[in-house]
Amino acid sequence: MNSEPKKFIPVVQLSDNETEVKRALQICNACRYCETFCAVFPAMTKRLEFTQADIHYMANLCHNCGACLHACQYAPPHEFGVNIPQAMAQVRLETYQEFAVPAAFGAIYKKTGIPLVSAMSVLFFLLMLAGVWLNETDLFGRYQGDFYAIFPHNFLAVLFGLVFMLAFILLGLGVAKFWKQTSKIIPEGVAQPDILQASKNVLTLKYLDGGHGKGCNEEDDRYTQIRRVFHHFTMYGFLLCFAATSVATLYHYFLALEAPYAYTSLPVILGTLGGIGLIIGPSGLLYLNIKRHPLHGDVNQKPMDRGFIFLLLLISITGLLLLAFRDTAAMALLLIIHLATVMTFFLTIPFGKFAHGFYRSAALLKFAVEERIAKHRAKAK
């Protein structure tokens, strides 16, 4: 007789939203009409049961393209009421909250709307304005584009650099917790082809094409690539601005070339192109967010979505205005406004919409691993 004690396997209590995703996926797994759609459905067909980890994984794998909702014969007003985009969006918000570091800050995800980011920007503006006043700096002086005449370079580099690094450390810890939970069942680990495939899917926004190449559904069942286009403007606009800052840092510390830089210099060109992208992209995304079909997504996410988009617009508009009027008496005031919006963005990185790109990238990496393993096993049979 075996006297070994039985291992205790804790039962995970699913939230109402997680339960709804599980119910919807079980119906989808029986139907499989959308099997050739986005990455969610190939991942779904590899499972007969859906654990909490599976639900979290597929919720972040979902790009909310809307194609499955408009193709589904069981979507509302059918009695089954299957709405994958909405159910996934509700769970995605829960995952951001659950994996947030520190955990107590997870509730901020529901609050990072336009009022909060506006209030934070105003607060930082007033603090910086007070600093300028206490330092007796002429707010409306002409400084020939020299930002460091208002705030010393080392002060800005240390303050904003530390906040930026801390924000990404906290976000990275949250994504690591998500990866640890959702990827326990990958015994083979991650290989180079998985990283390359996931990177390709991220950089091309592959699954904003609906999985069939025709695009998303916005207001109706008509396919369009427009959301993918606006996401590209936003993502590459941000990357260009980051590249501009990186090049300027290289110029300053390694080439002994100090700002202000000429309009034809590489940092200014990169920053200008990035700023333009961050006006076109977020403006389009805000329009689509307002006009989108009411059954898409989750109304609880709209404040977070719009707060993030609004903040990107503030940063890009004030940044371009600062560049255009840097040689005028308005420079100092524009600099303070711009820095206030940038600081707000940095502080909300781990607890706002920006995080979704990193959680989705982790889910796409797991999907690439699963696809590689599935193909390998199919060849071995």
Q: Would you say 347 and 163 are in contact if contact means Cβ atoms under 8 Å apart? A: yes
Quote the number of domains for the chain.
Answer: 2
Per the listing, tokens 């961050």 go with 278
Q: Are residues 75 and 157 in the same domain?
A: no
Q: Are residues 50 and 159 in the same domain?
A: no
The token pair that represents 64 in the structure block: 């909310």
Q: Are residues 95 and 117 in the same domain?
A: no
Q: Could you tell me which of 96, 111, 114, 115 has the C-alpha nearest to residue 307?
A: 114
pLDDT at 298: 74
Q: How many Cα atoms within 13 Å fall on the side-chain side of residue 317?
A: 13
Q: Are residues 170 and 249 in the same domain?
A: yes
Q: Are residues 179 and 305 in the same domain?
A: yes
- The total of other beta-carbon atoms located within 10 Å of residue 49's CB is 9
Residue 206 belongs to a domain: yes
Q: Would you say 367 and 190 are in contact if contact means Cβ atoms under 8 Å apart? A: no
| Residue 160: partners with Cβ closer than 8 Å, 6 or more residues away | 339, 342, 343, 346
Q: Would you say 105 and 351 are in contact if contact means Cβ atoms under 8 Å apart? A: yes
Q: Are residues 135 and 278 in the same domain?
A: yes
pLDDT at 287: 93
Last residue of a domain, one of 99, 133, 158: 99
- Amino acid at residue number 364: L
Range of the domain at 51: 16-99
Q: Are residues 34 and 84 in the same domain?
A: yes
pLDDT at 10: 56
pLDDT at 187: 66
Calculate helix-pair angle for 153-182, 331-348, nearest 10 degrees. 20
Q: Are residues 151 and 58 in the same domain?
A: no
Which helix (H) or strand (E) covers residue 58, if one does? helix 52-61
Low-confidence ranges of the chain (pLDDT < 50): 1, 7-9
Q: Which residues of 100-126 are buried (b: 16+ CB within 10 A; e: fewer)?
A: bbeeeebebbeebbeebbbebbeebbe
Helix (H, G, I), strand (E, B) or coil at 101: coil
Q: Are residues 175 and 45 in the same domain?
A: no
The token pair that represents 253 in the structure block: 């510390």
- The total of other beta-carbon atoms located within 10 Å of residue 188's CB is 10
Q: Are residues 117 and 80 in the same domain?
A: no
| Residue 366: partners with Cβ closer than 8 Å, 6 or more residues away | 57, 61, 179, 182, 183, 186
Q: Are residues 64 and 208 in the same domain?
A: no
DSSP class of 83: -
Beta bridge partners of 224: 216
Looking only at the bridges linking them, the beta strands covering 216-217 and 223-224 are antiparallel
Last residue of a domain, one of 60, 80, 99: 99
Phi and psi at 164, nearest 5°, equal: -60, -45
Rounded distance between C-alpha atoms, residue 69 and residue 76, angstroms: 9
Q: Are residues 251 and 309 in the same domain?
A: yes
- Residue 66, Ramachandran bin (φ over 0: left; ψ between -120 and 50: alpha; else beta): left
Q: Could you tell me which of 238, 172, 236, 179 has the C-alpha nearest to residue 205?
A: 236
Helix (H, G, I), strand (E, B) or coil at 189: coil
- Amino acid at residue number 314: L
Last residue of a domain, one of 99, 133, 154: 99
pLDDT at 239: 97
